[in-house]
Structure 1
């Protein structure tokens, strides 16, 4: 019997990659592993992705952790470099920055003494209005990268859909139009699609796809689960039942006696809480899977434990395993109950939760 752990199903990861590659046709795959591979373990997941062409992360420390773990695949930094001081590290480690601003471009042009020129990506703001050079500056910026002595090879043109999870949104067509106009002038390789855009075929053209969430078996679309797209959950978050007790009707359970039992019942205590990344604001009724059926969460989630209403006739015993989300209980469903998104639940799994790969 033990506290919280997460089973990471490597066969499901391989299955999901195969499904996504079918959607991608012959295009290349930039697998997104930022935020500790969405909580699944950065280095181990990277080591299992034999069929991808490159890996994408957000921060330099993530990229260096992969290099230190022996990962030799191309690594793309989705936010590029934060200061010119990082450029020698990029060059020495063979990292590829996304250039998304004029100041980054100028710093790259002015850099001296780099161990080798860098392969780079140029991000264009086609409507997300977060990162990216303005569309009317994109061609000139691309030409400057082509002429830059610190750049090797052909830069890859990229952008990001703001509403790919709503495939019929007019904004998608507008963004497609903007990037297509730029690409026609440059004849450059293009990367536009994340998981949602890949599954819904939102982009007009992609040479590189950038799946993240879907790699882990999770749907990017509301009211859908990964299973709807033949994807399998990679993470199963689990914990032991550490107490089963009889509680009379009208008794309060947990902090603030927030749950008042309506009838005589059995209460199961599960060894997981917000200290493990399970959301404190999960409402009463959020399902917890034990021995083939779901039981409702009741009362307040505490740091290390939560309570479920087992019912008076339950056969659940101390030592049984509860699943909070995973192969038997879609994380998308839990996110909907909590009022958040699956991304947040996965990324919030705490470091004290052991990741067990099988």
Structure 2
């Protein structure tokens, strides 16, 4: 069942943002990251748009890669969490899907599992993220082990992930780059380090393959939260209808917990969207929405299916008007900041019950 709320996607912005990636990282190959339903924008929809422009697609798991192959996408695919077992390893080789290897168990499977096709492998080093990856001091030994795997294409692509690229002045960035460069010096293979934030702010990290994610969708990966500054265009415009307007007296409270009390006679608008649709529950009073091109503040707690907004200064607002939660004139990064989270969280959280429309 679909709700009255809708997410409108401007697909030309995806193309624009990928062109911006190429402008900022000239000469590099682009592995467009479309995991998590393309950050909430729809895996197949985004793949259709970007396939003619990208050099490959990166996803999180084998199921995502399998779905893309099943839909007919033949460009290079990379599973960033790699394979979990022998079955997934065989599947990757059969469907010509590249995998990230980050663990000794995976190396042992690569040595012992007969495969139907040769397999492309990216080797991940942990240079400071503290999550997945081989220790940098093991790089040469890991490469030696991979050379013993007759069914693995040589050489690998070397990769790492930057923990603090969204704050480019942090010393951890330089430290990670230096560790990666030292660990891979003299070892054959291409290099991949840069996520969206590093593409924008750390040209030293660009290597051979860049891996843009959030910037493709027009949101900022940097702490300044200003995508327009980097020439990015928003893709998603989230809206919901105004379904009621009520007059409340000074002193009246609004919503669960009576967290908002009217300090004047207040015209309260009720909008048909809530946390079950993916709108963040913990945004505070005053978080902006857009009504007829002007901002209005949210008042009261976000409910499962509704929010309430102060329309006292919007006398022309009427039931049926579309209310913008984020999009044109109201960056998703701003709403994420109000919710004390990041735009990735909000975009990925948009629920299936929200209607989706798109235009080229």
TM tier relative to shorter chain: over 0.9
Report the Cα distance in structure 2 between the residues aligned to 1:204 and 1:290, rounded to whole angstroms: 42
User: 1:197, 1:271 → 2: CA distance?
Assistant: 38
Name the residue aligned to 2:30: 29
Q: Separation in 1 of the partners of 2:159 and 2:224? A: 29
1:182-228 deviation digits (Å, cap 9, x = unpaired): 33221421000000011002534510000001111111112332111
Q: Cα deviation per residue 1:135-177 (whole Å; 9 max; x = unaligned)? A: 1111121232233112124210000111111112211111111
Ranges in structure 2 where 5+ consecutive residues have no aligned partner? none
Match of 1:89 among 73, 76, 91: 91
Deviations 1:212-258 (A, max 9, x none): 01111111112332111010111111111111122222222222333
Counterpart Cα distance in 2 of 1:157 and 1:115: 24
Superposed CA offset, 1:58-110 (max 9, x none): 11111122122222221101010111221121122221110001111111111
User: What SS does the corresponding residue of 1:316 show, helix, strand or coil?
Assistant: coil
Rounded to whole Å, the distance in 2 between the matches of 1:116 and 1:327 is 47
CA contact (8 A) 1:264 1:312 kept: no
Task: Determine the C-alpha separation between the residues in 2 that align with 1:313 and 1:228.
Answer: 30
Match of 2:157 in 1: 156
CA distance in 1, matches of 2:62, 2:301: 38
Aligned equivalent of 2:276: 275
**Is 2:139–2:184's contact at 8 Å kept on the other side of the alignment?**
no
Sort the Cα spacing of 1:311 and 1:72 in 2 relative to 1 into closer, same or farther, 3 A.
same
Separation in 1, partners of 2:26, 2:203:
14
Q: Which residue of 2 aligns with 1:144?
A: 145
TM-score of the two chains, using structure 2 as the length reference: 0.96
Q: Paired residue for 1:169? A: 170
Q: Is residue 295–residue 310 contact of structure 1 (8 Å, CA) maintained in 2?
A: yes
1:128 corresponding residue in structure 2 = 129
Q: What is aligned with 2:285?
A: 284
Alpha carbons 1:139, 1:185 under 8 Å: kept: no
| Compared CA separation, residues 333 and 205, structure 1 to 2 (3 A) | closer
Partner of 1:74: 76
Are 2:86 and 1:58 aligned? no
Alignment check: 8 A CA contact 1:242 1:271 kept = yes
Q: What is the CA–CA distance in structure 2 between the aligned matches of 1:214 and 1:172, rounded to whole Å?
A: 19
Q: Which moved more, 1:18-27 or 1:202-211?
A: 202-211
| SS of 2:20 mapped into structure 1 | helix
Alpha-carbon distance between aligned partners in 1 of 2:328 and 2:143, rounded to the nearest angstrom? 45
Aligned residue number for residue 228 of structure 2: 227
Matching of residues 293-304 of structure 1 within 5 Å: 293-304=294-305
CA RMSD of superposed structures (Å): 1.4
Note if contact 1:29-1:211 (Cα within 8 Å) is conserved in structure 2: yes
Aligned length: 356
Structure-2 separation of matches of 1:205 and 1:346 = 26
What's the secondary structure of 2:186's corresponding residue? helix
Alpha-carbon distance change, 312 to 296 in structure 1, aligned in 2, over 3 angstroms? closer
SS of corresponding position for 1:6: strand
Equivalent pair of 1:41/1:355 in contact (CA under 8 Å): no
Rate the CA distance shift 1:136–1:313 in 2: closer, same or farther, 3 A: closer
**Greater Cα shift, 293-302 or 179-188:** 179-188
DSSP-derived class of the 2:110 partner: helix
In 2, distance between residues paired with 1:313 and 1:175? 51
